[in-house]
Amino acid sequence: MASKTNFGPSKGGESTRIGVAGASGKLGNLVLEDLLKVLPPEQLVAIVRSPEKAARFASQGVQVRRGDYSDRETLFPALAGVKRLLLISATDLGRRVEQHRAVIGAAKATGVVHIVYTSVLRADTSTLPIAAEHQETEDLLRASGLTFTILRNGWYIENYTERLEMSLAHGGFIGAAQNGKIAAATRQDYAEAAVAVLTHGGHEGKTYELAGDYSFTMNDLAEAVSGWAGKPLPYSDLLQSEYRKILSSTGLPEAIVDLLIATDVAIARGDLDSNSRDLHNLIGRNTQTLREVLTGLPEPLAQGSGSQEQSGAALWTCRRARSR
């Protein structure tokens, strides 16, 4: 899919410096770990809001620089000398377009040549509530005059597996996703795809639809988690009105309630399912399955039971919009 061009040191000792913006997040950490396997640390720049969170990379020789998406003036020194930049999307819903605009503007001003951006699956047609900001950012990149690659990441399996203790404690899962399929992959899968694009040529101007090889429904998730936990943890599919009532009763802000319901409606429509092989081809292997991820988790602790209303609060914790 891409040329074998490598951005490591050339015969003359020169190299292309690669920056990772949002490097202290979960995805950013994995990207840096994988980059260190193929590139010398002095070629890498970790751009983070709080440099102390990237201390372990600094100890390995990676340049760690403060760069806050919301503080434009920090971005110019943070990006100095960087030629290829991974822009990991911000997590501040409603503010992301302006934050991304600031990074893209600073990148252009400081001589960044190529930006790789983490968007969302089918951002141009998706009804996911987070899709609009990604589409606007993609438009900013296209108008920037820089070369770019867009990685439209699908859902993370970890959105469900990292906080299973809540669903275990409250007896299962609830939602309004019906039988919508989710072509999720692991954060590690997406990190490897980003590294492949950052370190090899041939990706300029490309938009990749990144999705897991194995789709699952919420019922499939509940069945797999039940097998792992050794007890039944069913998925209860609700009418939107019922779902809203339960979520609102937990004290969640109405904007979050709207986000959760809209996300499930989008899942039911198929917005998180895909048969794209872009992710598979970029990483050169099958993506990890839900059951493989569960097998790698520690044994579940003993849990009590809880009400459906409590499960609504747990749902927000377990299934919030993709975290970095």
pLDDT digits (tens, 9 = 90+) for 113-140: 999 999 999 999 999 999 999 999 999 9
53: pLDDT strictly greater than 50: yes
167: pLDDT strictly greater than 60: yes
Q: Which residue is associated with the tokens 């899709």? A: 131
* Higher-pLDDT residue of 118, 167: 118
3-state secondary structure of 236: strand
Structural domain boundaries of the chain? 18-156+185-210
pLDDT digits (tens, 9 = 90+) for 199-242: 999 999 999 999 999 999 999 999 999 999 999 999 999 999 99
Q: Alpha helix locations (H) across the chain?
A: 26-35, 55-58, 72-79, 96-110, 131-143, 158-161, 164-169, 187-199, 218-229, 240-249, 254-269, 278-283, 290-295, 308-319
pLDDT (0 to 100) of residue 169: 86
139, 115, 119: which is closest to 128 by C-alpha? 119
CA 212/CA 277 separation, integer angstroms: 8
Share of the chain above pLDDT 90, in %: 84
8: pLDDT strictly greater than 60: no
pLDDT (0 to 100) of residue 300: 81
What does the pLDDT average to over 308-317?
A: 45
In this prediction, residue 12 has a pLDDT band, given cuts at 50, 70 and 90, of very low
23: pLDDT strictly greater than 60: yes
pLDDT (0 to 100) of residue 319: 44
pLDDT digits (tens, 9 = 90+) for 278-311: 999 999 999 999 999 999 998 886 544 444 444 4
Sign of the torsion angle spanned by Cα atoms 160, 284, 197, 276: negative
> Is the Cβ–Cβ distance between 81 and 54 less than 8 Å?
no
> Is the Cβ–Cβ distance between 64 and 32 less than 8 Å?
no
pLDDT (0 to 100) of residue 308: 46
321: pLDDT strictly greater than 50: no
Least confident of 82-86, 222-226, 310-314: 310-314
* Higher-pLDDT residue of 305, 166: 166
pLDDT (0 to 100) of residue 163: 86
What does the pLDDT average to over 43-65?
A: 97
Question: Could you tell me which CATH class the domain 18-156+185-210 is placed in?
Answer: alpha beta
> Is the Cβ–Cβ distance between 177 and 264 less than 8 Å?
yes
3-state secondary structure of 315: helix
320: pLDDT strictly greater than 90: no
171: pLDDT strictly greater than 60: yes
What does the pLDDT average to over 154-160?
A: 97
